[in-house]
């Protein structure tokens, strides 16, 4: 598996508390993820999966401890700095796609890069087109609202990879898809992460997707279980 593009994680003594709760929503003594590793995150509803994903992507700052990607401790960054770090290093694939009606498949893939820069970097349009074709979207100008849910999620996968991030985070990427579409998205997500050498973290209850990954992390009541 290629590792040159992936990022390594070192998490130490992380604790996250929310007002009104007697116990921490998340308490993890240590977690290490190698660059380019493909990780599944599982656990029942309320186990802390979303909280952990938010900490690992900088959407939230850890109340205690360190969350360090390749030497950058997100717990020490301001909100604005975490936003900039996430834009530069993380590709997100969400259950509800977060695509924009009125835009084509190609323009949806390019939109995050347009928002991050005054102009698209050289080759960005060609790379976006290549990724869309790789995930089976042949009509690059097709409006998003005319697509099936499976097609929309494949566009979302292409968008997550367009900036060549070192980290890809997918939150229940197959949960709203039928079995056939979910199976295809699972295969594509894993294959493309491996090809890019990216570190992949997937929160999922989909056994077919989980079994394709290198390692399974199980959360229960905010704690990692063996």
φ and ψ at 34, to 5 degrees?
-75, 155
Report the alpha-carbon distance of residue 134 to residue 131 in Å, rounded: 5
Q: Where are the domains of the chain?
A: 36-61+77-225
Pairing of strands 223-225, 215-220: antiparallel
Per-residue pLDDT, 2: 42
List b or e across 14-29, with b for residues whose CB sees 16 or more CB atoms inside 10 angstroms.
Answer: bebeeeeeeebbbbbe
Dihedral of the alpha carbons of 80, 86, 88, 91, in degrees to the nearest 10 = -150
- 104-153 pLDDT, tens digit each: 999 999 998 877 776 788 888 999 999 999 999 999 999 999 999 999 99
1, pLDDT greater than 50:
no
- Please tell me the pTM assigned to this model: 0.90
Is the distance from CB of 181 to CB of 141 less than 8 angstroms? no
Task: Count CB atoms within 10 A of the CB of residue 107.
Answer: 18
Q: Give the tens place of pLDDT for each residue, 71-95.
A: 999 999 999 999 999 989 999 998 8
The CATH topology of domain 36-61+77-225 is Rossmann fold (3.40.50)
Whether the pLDDT of residue 168 is over 80: the answer is yes
Average pLDDT score, the chain: 92
């Amino acid at each position: 598996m290629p590792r040159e593009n992936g990022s390594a994680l070192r998490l130490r003594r992380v604790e996250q508390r929310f007002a009104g709760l007697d116990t921490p929503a998340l308490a993890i003594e240590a977690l290490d993820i190698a660059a380019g590793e493909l990780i599944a995150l599982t656990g029942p509803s309320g186990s802390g999966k979303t909280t952990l994903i938010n900490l690992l992507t900088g959407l939230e700052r850890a109340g205690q401890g360190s969350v360090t990607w390749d030497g950058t401790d997100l717990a020490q960054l301001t909100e604005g700095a975490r936003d900039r770090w996430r834009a530069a290093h993380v590709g997100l694939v969400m259950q509800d796609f977060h695509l924009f009606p009125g835009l084509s498949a190609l323009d949806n893939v390019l939109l995050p890069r347009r928002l991050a820069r005054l102009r698209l970097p050289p080759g960005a349009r060609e790379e976006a087109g290549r990724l869309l074709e790789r995930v089976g979207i042949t009509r690059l100008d097709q409006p998003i609202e005319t697509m099936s849910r499976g097609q929309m999620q494949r566009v979302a996968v292409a968008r997550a990879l367009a900036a060549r991030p070192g980290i890809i985070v997918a939150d229940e990427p197959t949960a709203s898809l039928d079995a056939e579409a979910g199976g295809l998205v699972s295969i594509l997500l894993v294959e493309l992460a491996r090809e890019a050498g990216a570190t992949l973290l997937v929160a999922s209850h989909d056994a077919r997707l989980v079994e394709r990954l290198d390692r399974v992390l199980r959360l229960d009541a905010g704690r990692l279980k063996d």
